Amino acid sequence: MSEGEMSIDRKKGEDWWATDIIEMRPGLIRLRGYAIEDLIGRISFPAMIWLMLRGELPDERQAELLGIALSAAIDHGPQAPSIAIARMAATCGVGINSAMASAINVLGDVHGGAGEQALGFFGEIAVSMDFGRSLEKAADERLDRYFKDEGGYVPGLGHRFHPVDPRAPRLIELVRRFAKDGVVNGRFADIAEAVEANVAKRKGKRIPLNIDGATAVVYGELGFPPPLTRGLFVLSRSVGILAHAWEQSQKPERNKGPLPREWLWSYRGTKTRKPVE
Amino acid sequence: MSEGEMSIDRKKGEDWWATDIIEMRPGLIRLRGYAIEDLIGRISFPAMIWLMLRGELPDERQAELLGIALSAAIDHGPQAPSIAIARMAATCGVGINSAMASAINVLGDVHGGAGEQALGFFGEIAVSMDFGRSLEKAADERLDRYFKDEGGYVPGLGHRFHPVDPRAPRLIELVRRFAKDGVVNGRFADIAEAVEANVAKRKGKRIPLNIDGATAVVYGELGFPPPLTRGLFVLSRSVGILAHAWEQSQKPERNKGPLPREWLWSYRGTKTRKPVE
Amino acid sequence: MSEGEMSIDRKKGEDWWATDIIEMRPGLIRLRGYAIEDLIGRISFPAMIWLMLRGELPDERQAELLGIALSAAIDHGPQAPSIAIARMAATCGVGINSAMASAINVLGDVHGGAGEQALGFFGEIAVSMDFGRSLEKAADERLDRYFKDEGGYVPGLGHRFHPVDPRAPRLIELVRRFAKDGVVNGRFADIAEAVEANVAKRKGKRIPLNIDGATAVVYGELGFPPPLTRGLFVLSRSVGILAHAWEQSQKPERNKGPLPREWLWSYRGTKTRKPVE
Amino acid sequence: MSEGEMSIDRKKGEDWWATDIIEMRPGLIRLRGYAIEDLIGRISFPAMIWLMLRGELPDERQAELLGIALSAAIDHGPQAPSIAIARMAATCGVGINSAMASAINVLGDVHGGAGEQALGFFGEIAVSMDFGRSLEKAADERLDRYFKDEGGYVPGLGHRFHPVDPRAPRLIELVRRFAKDGVVNGRFADIAEAVEANVAKRKGKRIPLNIDGATAVVYGELGFPPPLTRGLFVLSRSVGILAHAWEQSQKPERNKGPLPREWLWSYRGTKTRKPVE
Helix (H) or strand (E) holding B28: strand B28-31
Per-residue pLDDT averaged across B239-258, rounded? 97
Q: Is the pLDDT of residue D274 over 50?
A: yes
Amino acid D277: pLDDT: 67
Asked whether residue A69 is domain-assigned, the answer is no
Helix (H) or strand (E) holding C34: strand C34-35
Reported residue count of chain A is: 277
B29 and B140 in a common domain:
no
Expressed as residue numbers, the domain containing C163 is 81-249
Helix (H) or strand (E) holding A24: strand A22-25
**CATH code for position D154:** 1.10.230.10
B132 and B46 in a common domain:
no
Q: Distance (Å) from the C-alpha of residue D108 to the closest C-alpha of chain A?
A: 7
Contact assessment for residue D157 and residue D209, using Cβ atoms and an 8 Å cutoff: yes
First to last CA, chain D: 73
Per-residue pLDDT averaged across D263-277, rounded? 93
Contacts of C165 (CB under 8 A, 6+ apart): B27, C159, C208, C209, C210, C211, C214
Tell me, yes or no, if C104 comes closer than 8 A to chain D by beta carbon. no
Q: Which residue of B94, B264, B271, B274 to mutate against D (max D Cβ within 10 Å)?
A: B264
Round to whole Å and give the CA distance between D171 and D70: 11
Amino acid C4: pLDDT: 52
Amino acid at D165: D
B220 and B187 in a common domain:
yes
Asked whether residue A153 is domain-assigned, the answer is yes
This complex has an ipTM of: 0.96
Asked whether residue B42 is domain-assigned, the answer is yes
Contact assessment for residue D268 and residue C88, using Cβ atoms and an 8 Å cutoff: no
What are the φ and ψ backbone dihedral angles of A28, each rounded to 5 degrees? Answer: -135, 130
Question: Which of A18, A42, A272 is closest, CB to CB, to C268?
Answer: A18
Contact B94 A103 (CB under 8 A): no
B143 and B98 in a common domain:
yes
pLDDT tens, residue order, chain A (277 aa)? 444 567 899 999 999 999 999 999 999 999 999 999 999 999 999 999 999 999 999 999 999 999 999 999 999 999 999 999 999 999 999 999 999 999 999 999 999 989 999 999 999 999 999 999 999 999 999 999 999 998 888 999 998 899 999 999 999 999 999 999 999 999 999 999 999 999 999 999 999 999 999 999 999 999 999 999 999 999 999 999 999 999 999 999 999 999 999 999 999 999 999 998 6
Instruction: Write the CA distances from B40 to B61, C53, C67, integer angstroms.
Output: 18, 23, 9
Tell me, yes or no, if C10 comes closer than 8 A to chain A by beta carbon. yes
Reported residue count of chain B is: 277
Question: Which of D9, D113, D254 is closest, CB to CB, to C10?
Answer: D9
Tell me, yes or no, if A126 comes closer than 8 A to chain D by beta carbon. no
CB burial class (10 A; 0-12, 13-18, 19+) of residue B3?
exposed
Hey, is B171 helix, strand or coil? helix
Q: Helix B60-72 crosses helix C45-54 at what angle (to 10 degrees)?
A: 30
C47 and C127 in a common domain:
no
Contact assessment for residue C119 and residue C219, using Cβ atoms and an 8 Å cutoff: yes
Question: Which of A14, A34, A259 is closest, CB to CB, to C13?
Answer: A259
Chain A segment 225-264 residues within 8 A of B by beta carbon are: 254-259, 261, 263-264
Helix (H) or strand (E) holding C217: helix C211-221
Contact assessment for residue A2 and residue A10, using Cβ atoms and an 8 Å cutoff: no
C207 and C112 in a common domain:
yes
Reported residue count of chain D is: 277
B152 and B48 in a common domain:
no
Hey, is C209 helix, strand or coil? strand
Asked whether residue C219 is domain-assigned, the answer is yes
C187 and C103 in a common domain:
yes
Residue C254: which of C92, C55, C24 has the closest Cα? C92
Amino acid D153: pLDDT: 85
Contact assessment for residue D34 and residue B275, using Cβ atoms and an 8 Å cutoff: yes
Average pLDDT of chain B to the nearest whole number: 95
Q: How many domains are there within chain D?
A: 2
> D190-224: per-residue pLDDT in tens?
999 999 999 999 999 999 999 999 999 999 999 99
Amino acid at A104: I
D129 and D86 in a common domain:
yes
Around Cβ B124, how many Cβ atoms within 10 Å? 16
Angle, CA of B83, B86 and B91, to the nearest 5°: 135
What are the φ and ψ backbone dihedral angles of A26, each rounded to 5 degrees? Answer: -55, 125
> B185-222: per-residue pLDDT in tens?
999 999 999 999 999 999 999 999 999 999 999 999 99
Q: Distance (Å) from the C-alpha of residue B273 to the closest C-alpha of chain C?
A: 33
Contact assessment for residue B130 and residue B168, using Cβ atoms and an 8 Å cutoff: no
Cα dihedral B92/B98/B102/B108 (nearest 10):
170
Q: Is the pLDDT of residue B29 over 60?
A: yes
Asked whether residue C263 is domain-assigned, the answer is no
Round to whole Å and give the CA distance between B51 and B53: 6
pLDDT less than 50: residues of chain C: 1-3
B85 and B54 in a common domain:
no
Asked whether residue B105 is domain-assigned, the answer is yes
Round to whole Å and give the CA distance between B112 and B73: 11
Asked whether residue A8 is domain-assigned, the answer is no
D90 and D52 in a common domain:
no
Contact D89 C106 (CB under 8 A): yes
Give the 3-state DSSP-derived string for D40-107, with helices as H, strands as E and coil as C: CCCCCHHHHHHHHHHCCCCCHHHHHHHHHHHHHCCCCCCCCHHHHHHHHHCCCCCCHHHHHHHHHCCC
> B90-108: per-residue pLDDT in tens?
999 999 999 999 999 999 9
Chain D positions touching B259 (Cβ under 8 A) are: 13-14, 16-17
What are the φ and ψ backbone dihedral angles of C250, each rounded to 5 degrees? Answer: -85, -5
Q: How many CA atoms lie within 13 A of C43 on its CB side?
A: 30
Helical spans, DSSP H, in chain A: 8-16, 36-39, 45-54, 60-72, 81-89, 96-104, 114-130, 135-145, 167-180, 187-203, 211-221, 226-249
* Beta bridge partner(s), residue A28: A25
Round to whole Å and give the CA distance between C30 and B179: 27
B85 and B46 in a common domain:
no
CB burial class (10 A; 0-12, 13-18, 19+) of residue D216?
buried
Q: How many CA atoms lie within 13 A of D84 on its CB side?
A: 31
Amino acid C90: pLDDT: 98
Q: Is the pLDDT of residue D1 over 50?
A: no
Contact assessment for residue A96 and residue D238, using Cβ atoms and an 8 Å cutoff: no
Asked whether residue C9 is domain-assigned, the answer is no
Contact A33 C270 (CB under 8 A): yes
Integer-rounded Cα radius of gyration of chain B? 24
Q: Is the dihedral of CA D15, D234, C87, D160 positive or negative?
A: negative
